[in-house]
Structure 1
Amino acid sequence: MRFRTVLAVREFRALWAAELLSQVGDQVARVALAVLVYQRTSSALLAGLAFALTFLPSLLGGVLLGGLADRYPRREVIVVLDLLRAALVGLMALPGMPLAALCALLALVTLLGGPFKAAQLALLADVLTGDRYVTALALRQMTIQSAQVAGFLAGGALAQWISPSGGLAFNAVSFAAAAALVRVGVPRQPAPAFRSAAVQGTARAGGVAMVWRDPGLRSLTALGWLAGFHIVPEAIAAPYADALGDDTAVSVGILMASDPVGSVAGALILGRFVPETVRGKILAPCALLAGLPLLVCAFGPALPLSALMFAMSGALATAYHIQLNAAFVERLHPEAKARGLGVLASGLITVQGLGALGGGLFSDLLGPERAIALAGISAILLGLRPAATWIRVSGEPRTTAPDQGP
């Protein structure tokens, strides 16, 4: 299926454009925040902790507040959360904001990202189904990775030529503009209705319990959270380049861009060239293979080969994440999509933050080459059991289908 097929859907165009805009703003803010904290403290550790705060609180928000989009209209939840984040980041951009207040506001912004992502993915699954949903995820992943590269470049330019506060102000504007795009481009839909006692029980149990009770959802979540290992090369690109004896800014930039470039290629190949009947079968193998190229880094290969290994890992990781998301949605009750997706998506963001911190720690202890190789082998070994579970569960007939209502 071609990308123009999903771009022809008005609601998807609005959601896609809004996410693209806010993703650029997020990356600009991450760079600006790291620069701002380092300028004030001259502490690399505090700058790293500030960067981690853009990831870690998301899990708490997704678990506690992910169900908002199952109780209220999903479009309204997205718009309100975007406007709240715009206001909070606007406060962060005020000159002279105390560092403690800055970090507290950042934690709140990241906390709200959990329920926002749950509502966004649930609404996308409402708008598109089947092969169109997978194609939309592939296009979405390509643009997210492209936006990350553009955002990092723009963030560095804004922080250098204007000020770090200017980068934060840009992020606040991007949130407000994204809210306007969704408000105008997505028709209002009623709140999901709990139409069965089973779904009501699931709702009361919460997203974590719902995911834990279903072996399929549990295994998919575990495979998705392997991203905490796959992010390590990007997180320690600078010390890795130094270990290779090529620590120029250009070399670091090439290494950091390799994973996003590979991700774009993986999404393009999956979305355009892999038949729908094959996609489900490659989920588990790609999840395990994504860690394999990272093992080569233990030998300290030259920059071009290292960049190729990072790109291969990114391509395989993106391919399985796209199909994983689609398979996850298929196993959820329509009225409880936001709760389940909140656990998956917010947990994914959190493990990436933890992976970045862990990668830095093990890089200091073992050296960056061994740290990246350790991340690769850990992803493979820890992925074996959930991969086997998913292969078994996906091959079994579902005894009960998600309640579609009357």
Structure 2
Amino acid sequence: MATNPGRLSGRHRRPPEVSATYREVIAVREFRALWLGQAMSLLGDQLASVALAVLVYNRTQSALATAAVYALTYLPPILGGPLLAGLADRYPRRRVMLFCDLLRALLLATMAVPGMPFAVLCVLVFCVVLLGAPFSAARAALMPEVLEGDRYVVGSAIQNVTNQAVQMLGFAAGGALIAGLGPYRALALDSATFLGSALVIVAGVRRRPSSHSEGDKPSVWAMTRAGARLVFGDRRLRTLVLFAWLCGFYVLPEGIAVPYAERLDDGTLPVPVITGLLMAATPTGTVIGAFLFGRFVTPSGRLRSMGWMAMLTCAPLIACLMRPPLEAVLALWALSGVGGAYQLAANAAFVQCVPPAGRGQAFGLVQSGLLAAQGLGILAGGAIAQQIGPEPVVALAGAAGLAVAVVLTLLWAESRSEIIAKVRATT
């Protein structure tokens, strides 16, 4: 029987893809510092979010007012995010992160003063979230320098799982904790978490120079324009950015969780507890999806399945139109969260296409647009829910998001082969 020498010698076979392990990524000291600091500050933020949502709805009984305050945690990047994100390229990224952590701790400590007027609290919330833009841009740009190749993807998966787990814990336990702590103490706890994050960064992240020399630092406006041209002038990057912004559809249910909980209230559980469970459902699904996606799917397999996973984030929400009971709603929202793991693949592909010197501005633009999309979606959802109820709004968001995901999947098929080749070359 004749044999194929090429098959025996393996000359025409592709080398197997080697995925990084969680153990080797966690062994990186700088990654552990970034990981712990993010988890600490995020936990405090979730407690503060639940406190504000419950406080506003108890005062106003208005889905629109509740969604508007919740949207304050997303909308500031529309005004200042694209400009401030460039600081992550203009100055050393570690310094930018420390400055933002310390300033946010101070603002939150001010918010925690008893008797602070509600309008002042809203302004302070706006400023705190605004400072998140340069921090997130610096952190995102620093990650590929700390972790290379598939380590970056696995590290992103670890952070994604941790972030969603922290959100799940913060939302699920938030209602009960707020009842005992009160909203002002919750804000004081949030301030302490930012101080803790700054200490961890000082101890665990080494100094690096900025990506621009002292004599070659363009203006903030010039960097913003250059970042916009870089991100939106490339067809591949445009598609990946829109994949990231798709979360504006499937995160909308969190913004109207309080009025949704009111509809589901049958006297068995307090409304704040139902609210916390609803807000924790999607992060719970994302924890499961990110772990499985990052651990058991190859780097190229993640990119090939990205479109299908994106569709999964939105499709289950359509079933909320049938007004299912609490248990079914939690399952549907959790399944939506499982699909959200596609963001890991989109993030990895984005890193492959963006030059290191422009990563801060590029990541900042994407993050700002992402938060803006979520904020606008939540605000619109609250306004519509005020008229037709929360269940139809969630279903409409799912249907619209599914349609967008289908279009993006078709666009992604045109450019994914090139990016998959780049990813395979680094594994």
Establish whether residue 384 from structure 1 lines up as the match of residue 403 from structure 2.
no
Aligned equivalent of 1:120, options 139, 151, 157: 139
Establish whether residue 26 from structure 1 lines up as the match of residue 45 from structure 2.
yes
CA gap 1:264/1:104 in 2 versus in 1, 3 angstroms: same
- Greater CA drift, 93-102 or 266-275: 93-102
Q: Quick one: which amino acid aligns to residue 394 of structure 1?
A: R
Once residues 127 and 242 of structure 2 are traced to their aligned partners in structure 1, the CA distance between those partners, rounded to angstroms, is: 26
Establish whether residue 259 from structure 1 lines up as the match of residue 282 from structure 2.
yes
Q: Quick one: which amino acid aligns to residue 220 of structure 1?
A: L
Report the Cα offset of residue 137 of structure 1.
0.9
Q: Percent identity?
A: 44
1:262–1:313 Cα contact (<8 Å) kept: yes
Aligned equivalent of 1:332, options 354, 362, 383: 354
Establish whether residue 279 from structure 1 lines up as the match of residue 298 from structure 2.
no
C-alpha distance after superposition, 1:274-327 (max 9, x if no partner): 11231111112211232111222222334333322211111001x211111111
Paired position in structure 2 for 1:366: 388
Aligned equivalent of 1:210, options 221, 230, 238: 230
2:259–2:390 Cα contact (<8 Å) kept: yes
Q: TM-score, normalised by structure 2?
A: 0.85
Q: Which has the larger radius of gyration?
A: 2
Once residues 395 and 63 of structure 2 are traced to their aligned partners in structure 1, the CA distance between those partners, rounded to angstroms, is: 24
Once residues 152 and 390 of structure 1 are traced to their aligned partners in structure 2, the CA distance between those partners, rounded to angstroms, is: 34
Once residues 217 and 202 of structure 1 are traced to their aligned partners in structure 2, the CA distance between those partners, rounded to angstroms, is: 20
Establish whether residue 68 from structure 1 lines up as the match of residue 87 from structure 2.
yes
- Greater CA drift, 362-371 or 134-143: 362-371
Aligned equivalent of 2:251, options 215, 231, 240: 231
Establish whether residue 110 from structure 1 lines up as the match of residue 132 from structure 2.
no
Paired position in structure 2 for 1:346: 368
Q: Quick one: which amino acid aligns to residue 253 of structure 2?
A: P
- Greater CA drift, 246-255 or 381-390: 246-255
CA gap 1:306/1:153 in 2 versus in 1, 3 angstroms: closer
CA gap 1:67/1:182 in 2 versus in 1, 3 angstroms: same
Report the Cα offset of residue 154 of structure 1.
5.1
Aligned equivalent of 2:111, options 82, 92, 100: 92
Report the Cα offset of residue 135 of structure 1.
0.6
- In the alignment of these two chains, the number of paired residues is 396
- Greater CA drift, 143-152 or 153-162: 153-162
Q: TM-score, normalised by structure 1?
A: 0.89
Once residues 178 and 288 of structure 1 are traced to their aligned partners in structure 2, the CA distance between those partners, rounded to angstroms, is: 35
Report the Cα offset of residue 101 of structure 1.
2.2
Aligned equivalent of 1:136, options 148, 152, 155: 155
CA gap 1:267/1:204 in 2 versus in 1, 3 angstroms: closer
User: Unaligned regions of 5+ residues in structure 2, if any?
Assistant: 1-19, 423-427
CA gap 1:39/1:243 in 2 versus in 1, 3 angstroms: closer
Once residues 63 and 388 of structure 2 are traced to their aligned partners in structure 1, the CA distance between those partners, rounded to angstroms, is: 19
Report the Cα offset of residue 113 of structure 1.
0.8
Report the Cα offset of residue 68 of structure 1.
0.7
What RMSD in Å do the two structures reach over aligned CA positions?
2.8
Aligned equivalent of 2:317, options 294, 300, 305: 294
C-alpha distance after superposition, 1:50-91 (max 9, x if no partner): 222122103433201111111111111101111111111111
Aligned equivalent of 2:184, options 160, 165, 168: 165
CA gap 1:308/1:38 in 2 versus in 1, 3 angstroms: closer
Aligned equivalent of 2:242, options 192, 216, 222: 222
CA gap 1:44/1:258 in 2 versus in 1, 3 angstroms: closer
CA gap 1:109/1:377 in 2 versus in 1, 3 angstroms: same
Report the Cα offset of residue 130 of structure 1.
1.7
Once residues 277 and 68 of structure 2 are traced to their aligned partners in structure 1, the CA distance between those partners, rounded to angstroms, is: 24
Paired position in structure 1 for 2:293: 270
Report the Cα offset of residue 356 of structure 1.
1.9
Report the Cα offset of residue 155 of structure 1.
4.1
Paired position in structure 2 for 1:404: none
User: Unaligned regions of 5+ residues in structure 1, if any?
Assistant: 401-406
Once residues 155 and 372 of structure 1 are traced to their aligned partners in structure 2, the CA distance between those partners, rounded to angstroms, is: 23
- Greater CA drift, 331-340 or 146-155: 146-155
Once residues 276 and 377 of structure 2 are traced to their aligned partners in structure 1, the CA distance between those partners, rounded to angstroms, is: 20
**Secondary structure at the residue paired with 1:379?**
helix
Aligned equivalent of 1:307, options 330, 335, 347: 330
Paired position in structure 1 for 2:77: 58
1:217–1:328 Cα contact (<8 Å) kept: yes
Once residues 56 and 327 of structure 2 are traced to their aligned partners in structure 1, the CA distance between those partners, rounded to angstroms, is: 33
Q: Quick one: which amino acid aligns to residue 15 of structure 1?
A: L
1:225–1:351 Cα contact (<8 Å) kept: yes
CA gap 1:296/1:50 in 2 versus in 1, 3 angstroms: closer
Report the Cα offset of residue 246 of structure 1.
4.4
Aligned equivalent of 1:356, options 367, 374, 378: 378
Paired position in structure 2 for 1:403: none
CA gap 1:126/1:169 in 2 versus in 1, 3 angstroms: same
**Secondary structure at the residue paired with 2:305?**
helix
- Greater CA drift, 162-171 or 355-364: 355-364
Report the Cα offset of residue 35 of structure 1.
4.6
Once residues 325 and 61 of structure 2 are traced to their aligned partners in structure 1, the CA distance between those partners, rounded to angstroms, is: 32
C-alpha distance after superposition, 1:178-232 (max 9, x if no partner): 01101110011111147xx9x9998462323321111111111111111111012
